Structure 1
């Protein structure tokens, strides 16, 4: 499996570690940068490229995945999620890494290089890459709603139990 990586300066050392770790564990790592430390670099430059590569390869039928890394992982996740078709989850535990795949069929994971130990972050990536999507109907349905919104910007209809409640009350669905 090919794994695309991007980061900012705060994730540079973890990214270098992951490139090596991935190769040792049978993955093909593709590093989209940065390649040198720059305290004022812009993570979108690198994370968008990693996400674009994952989206392009998956559209071509490849089983590519991605990892983006920053200080907290928040901005990197947001950048990756701007790419149409990408679902990037922020992992802060083994359980969130597992659920990102099992429930959300995420193709990318984001980790915070300043939030956890090197061993923990490596484990989050390991769990994420190993976990299959469950394919449960409810998860497929929810992902379908996200994909539809991503493509059309049309909100999914409210369920009958929510009709007439909340800020949509009185509006045509």
Structure 2
């Protein structure tokens, strides 16, 4: 993971306004924001936006990513298909801290239809200020990072 304070943001069409609010907020905190859109309200597919943001994190171009859709679930699932991504959807600050401290998450997913603006910003702050604890958690992260295998019945 890069040490730079560079963060990528993306969403589907439903979450443009909250994404832009978050982008302005984290820019004030000193982060370089890479907002990869979309910028217009036409219906778009969240998987392509989740994977595009995840690609920027996985490549090392950005340290973290924040992605948004209606619930945060679908875009998070798409992002997690990219190797090296550990993205969690959070609706509270405790979970946002824990996915960083225990899971070394490098992406955060939020649901625009689940959260209000104030809580969303608090969740972002919790995510960005938490640090990975390592230790026993590092072993578990290695287990998460192991290649996917197909299970047979």
Q: Aligned pair 1:136/2:135, yes or no?
A: yes
Q: Aligned pair 1:100/2:120, yes or no?
A: no
Q: CA-to-partner distance for each residue in 1:112-138, whole Å, 9 max, x for gaps?
A: 11111101001101110110001122x
Local SS of the residue matching 2:105: coil
TM-score of the two chains, using structure 2 as the length reference: 0.91
2:45 to 42, 45, 66: 42
State the 1:31 CA deviation.
Answer: 0.8
1:1-173 aligned within 5 A:
1-38=5-42, 40-57=43-60, 64-137=63-136, 139-150=137-148, 153=149
Local SS of the residue matching 1:98: helix
Q: CA-to-partner distance for each residue in 1:55-93, whole Å, 9 max, x for gaps?
A: 1016xxx7x100000110000100110100100001110
Structure 1 or 2: larger helix share?
1
Distance 1:36 1:68 in 2: 16
State the 1:154 CA deviation.
Answer: 8.0
Largest Rg, 1 or 2: 1
What is the aligned length?
A: 149
Local SS of the residue matching 2:60: helix
- Larger RCO (CA within 8 A; separation ≥ 6): 2
> RMSD value over aligned CA atoms?
1.8
Distance 2:131 2:11 in 1: 24
Deviation >2 Å, runs of 4+: none
Where do 5+ consecutive residues of structure 1 fail to align?
Answer: 156-166, 169-173
Distance 1:128 1:48 in 2: 20
State the 1:144 CA deviation.
Answer: 0.9
